[in-house]
């Protein structure tokens, strides 16, 4: 009887091990697929420049080539020290890029995408860009770095590049919030000041020195502390400021 119990336990353990190994392999392969596609795109985005004997990598997208690969590419997003340097896509709905890569391959990690109803040139009062937080890292996962107040203070800028203009996004707020909160307001209308004040009051961290004139961009992702299916979100909001300076990638 003991031998049969041991055999059953061994089979159960092997099953658990096999299931865990498969899940780890699946997470790894999903991540590798996205990273491979992104690196291929970076060949059309990252340029090497030499100035005063210093070599630096700068973001200078070849928009014609990128558009030929996927006409839904409308921008490139770079958030320093968060492993975020990805194309921004926009589809006719907000479902497709939840689980498809830039090459149209099925992948639960999806892509970084602008809300389907938003102006493709980021001319809304507040443009919402979505990305998953995922096991194993990648996509928008490391927006959680902004949960640390010191990180928030030391990382006051991220970047959005588009075919029309490049933008320095001056970090305005970071919020641990919920879906459909004030940070998801896209048109301020006649309540602009009230909306901005509400964002300030609801923010986890705030940079009150940032201009509130003009347009904003908000990066939204899941707060995994509450699980994959909750309505809890991290939202990083920046003020769009056109720039002609080189956008230099950090080593």
Residue-wise pLDDT for 87-124, tens only, equals: 999 999 999 999 999 999 999 999 999 999 999 999 99
Quickly state the pLDDT bin for 18 (edges 50, 70, 90). very low
pLDDT of 23 over the 80 cut? no
Quickly state the pLDDT bin for 229 (edges 50, 70, 90). confident
Domain residue limits at 175:
46-242
pLDDT of 17 over the 60 cut? no
Does residue 7 lie within any of the structural domains? no
Does residue 9 lie within any of the structural domains? no
pLDDT of 135 over the 90 cut? no
pLDDT at 37: 86
Q: How far apart are CA 68 and CA 142, in angstroms?
A: 30
**CA atoms in the 13 A half-sphere facing the CB of 233:** 23
Does residue 10 lie within any of the structural domains? no
Quickly state the pLDDT bin for 55 (edges 50, 70, 90). confident
Stretch 14-43: mean pLDDT: 58
Does residue 105 lie within any of the structural domains? yes
This prediction has a pTM of 0.87
**CA atoms in the 13 A half-sphere facing the CB of 126:** 25
Quickly state the pLDDT bin for 29 (edges 50, 70, 90). low
Does residue 217 lie within any of the structural domains? yes
Q: Which residues pair with 128 in a beta bridge?
A: 218
Does residue 18 lie within any of the structural domains? no
pLDDT of 82 over the 80 cut? yes
φ, ψ for residue 30, nearest 5 deg: -65, -45
pLDDT of 239 over the 90 cut? yes
Does residue 177 lie within any of the structural domains? yes
Does residue 157 lie within any of the structural domains? yes
- The per-residue b/e assignment along 219-248, b for 16 or more CB within 10 angstroms, e otherwise, is bbbbbbeeeeeeeebbbbbbbbeebeeebe
Quickly state the pLDDT bin for 13 (edges 50, 70, 90). very low
Stretch 139-164: mean pLDDT: 97
pLDDT of 4 over the 80 cut? no
Q: Look up the CATH number of the domain holding residue 74.
A: 2.40.260.10
Number of structural domains in the chain: 1
């Amino acid at each position: 009887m003991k031998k049969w119990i041991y055999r059953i336990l061994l089979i159960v353990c092997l099953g658990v091990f096999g299931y865990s190994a498969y899940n780890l392999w699946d997470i790894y392969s999903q991540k590798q697929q996205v990273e491979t596609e992104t690196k291929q795109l970076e060949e059309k985005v990252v340029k090497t420049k030499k100035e005063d004997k210093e070599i630096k990598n700068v973001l200078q997208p070849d928009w014609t080539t990128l558009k030929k690969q996927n006409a839904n590419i409308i921008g490139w997003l770079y958030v320093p020290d968060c492993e975020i340097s990805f194309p921004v896509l926009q589809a006719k709905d907000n479902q497709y890029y939840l689980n498809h890569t830039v090459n149209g391959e099925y992948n639960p990690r999806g892509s970084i995408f602008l809300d389907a109803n938003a102006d493709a040139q980021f001319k809304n009062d507040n443009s919402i860009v979505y990305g998953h937080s995922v096991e194993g890292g990648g996509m928008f996962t490391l927006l959680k770095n902004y949960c640390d107040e010191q990180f928030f203070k030391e990382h006051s800028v991220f970047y959005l590049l588009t075919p029309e203009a490049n933008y320095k996004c001056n970090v305005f707020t970071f919020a641990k919030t919920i879906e459909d909160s004030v940070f998801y307001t896209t048109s301020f209308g006649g309540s602009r000041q009230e909306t901005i004040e509400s964002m300030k009051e609801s923010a986890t961290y705030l940079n009150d020195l940032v201009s509130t004139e003009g347009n904003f961009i908000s990066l939204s992702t899941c707060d995994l502390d509450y699980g994959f299916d909750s309505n809890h979100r991290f939202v990083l909001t920046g003020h769009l400021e056109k720039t002609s300076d080189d956008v230099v990638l950090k080593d």
